[in-house]
Structure 1
Amino acid sequence: MTAYGYFLSSEEFTPAELLDQARMAEQAGFEGLAVSDHFHPWNDEQGQSPFVWSMIGALSQVTSLPITTLVTCPTVRVHPAINAQAAATAAVLTGGRFRFGLGSGEALNEHILGGAWPEAAERLQMLEEAVQVIRKLSTGERVTHHGTHYTVQNARLYTLPAEPVPLYVSGFGPEAAALAGRIGDGFVTMTPDATLVEQFRRAGGGGKPVIGGLKVCWDTDRARAVKTAHRLWPSEQLPGELAQILPTPEHFEQAAGLVTEDMVADAVVCGDATGDHVAAVRAYSEAGFDEVYVSQIGPDQKQFFDFYRAEVLPRLRDGMSVD
């Protein structure tokens, strides 16, 4: 049965607001939390970007829900050895309820130290080696690693959870899905694409978890919801590799000038029609996903959680249709 969680948007909300949302998500009946890991927001209108590891420490003290990063890039901005230590501590703080979502990253967050942004194929190679480093350190043994991209010298993690942190690998195309099947404990992808799920499973994913997520904008006025989603998240509608290669929020704002409100209205569930929300989330279950994380765009968080508690989650769990 598919589990339904809430996706905390660290690009859009302050740390205090994210903690409030986590509490409301648990009270509303969501079964897990996902949190984004960014250095920059996608645009200045979103306006936030707290440090994810500080947030996870705080979240561990206010909720009993499992927490997953969706996703962390462990290859450029922060060395994989430090990511391994951070993930292990997060797992200890949460009593083993932390899962580490990993991806090949975006220039938006990873270019900040001044290095060149690698091509996609090299980024996948770096991700694979980073996973190797994290797994070695997760054993608690002393690790020395001299690889193509990373060096680790006499490193050992002393604060470790009872079991290694599950590593869920993100991908949006067949090569990344195959890599996730080969090296990951689970697969993360953001569209309800049954073909990608099958590619992951054929490549070694078997019965491992598949996780997805979507943004919605609840509002009693659909037109107003569309405007809110267009103002805050036009970047979601940018095509191809733009999301991976544009380096600054200003570049995303320039590119997003090509995204119209009609494009957002066609792609994002906006308004308070229960059937629209149920159908959008259920599409992931039908595509073979094990967990789906929903994120509310904009300020109406309490109303969103009330709506999902009363109208959406019961129908999803009972398999009820909505006219």
Structure 2
Amino acid sequence: MPHKFNDARRDKFPKAKYRVSNCPEYNESLRRRGDVTIWVSDDVVQKWRSPRRKTRGGQSRYSDLAIEICLTLRVVFRLPLRQTQGFVRSLAKLMGMALVVPDFSTLSRRGKGLKLPQNRRAASKPTTLIVDSTGLKVHGGNDWHEEKHGTKKARKTWRKLHIAFDPETGDIAATELTTEHVGDVTALPALLTDMDADVSRFLADGAYDVQGVADCLIEKFGHGVEIIIPPPTTAVHGKNAQRNHHIDVIAQNGRMSWQTKTGYNQRSRVEAQIGRWKQAIGDRLQARDFDNQIAEVKMASKALNRMTGLGRAVYERVV
């Protein structure tokens, strides 16, 4: 909104400049992201094999941890399943570990429905939650071939990734993957299902401006949660007192003043997180099966949170 509001006179004032104040620490954290020992724990040998089950049925050869490590390395380094098997096998050999690596078919089969708890850091105080969504490609024709050689346009499939971002810790608090036909409001209850943090403020764009979102947030976090969602220009008063107050403030002081007072401009941080996802992980899902795609997204969010834990850039404005 600020960029659109000032677009006609953007050349009249200089753009704000920032610099990273902790360059040595941040550079080292970026190097450590490529260190394979970050992604493989020291006790991996003891936990590699699955514990024997005491109920009827076949015995699993590999533990969930072994499958998670292999698939996480696949997501981080963008490897096909067969190359993932070879990569982990060579890594175990170089590290002197006597491990039998799961084959590619086992990785694909065990990836479906794999339970992955989110490894987000606990906030020191009631936190702010920022929610947004984006699209991830699945498969489709090559745009260059379509334009250069006039090939028939292929039907492309994509998924919708919903992200809940914690700006205090910089972690992805929750993710939800849906088909392209599921709206943001419909996916919100499932996105917040595993959230156990104390949320005091909720920020989202105008697509979430419906009464069902407010009811869902109050049921999940209590009546004390502050809901900051911009109402449309044609909005009228309803039964939501917070929304009515936002409408009155915007009508009296203007939308830009309302954004500054409520801190709505912080919502851009989740868009930056989406850009970080597509740069570090990619804008395309590798798996074809929907259940495997869900597991892939969970592993990607855990990997990004682990990267954040290694170190974050600290910015300061240049005067």
Please give the TM-score of this superposition, normalised by the length of structure 2: 0.21
| Bigger relative contact order (CA 8 A; separation at least 6) | 2
Please give the TM-score of this superposition, normalised by the length of structure 1: 0.21
* Larger-gyration structure (1/2): 2
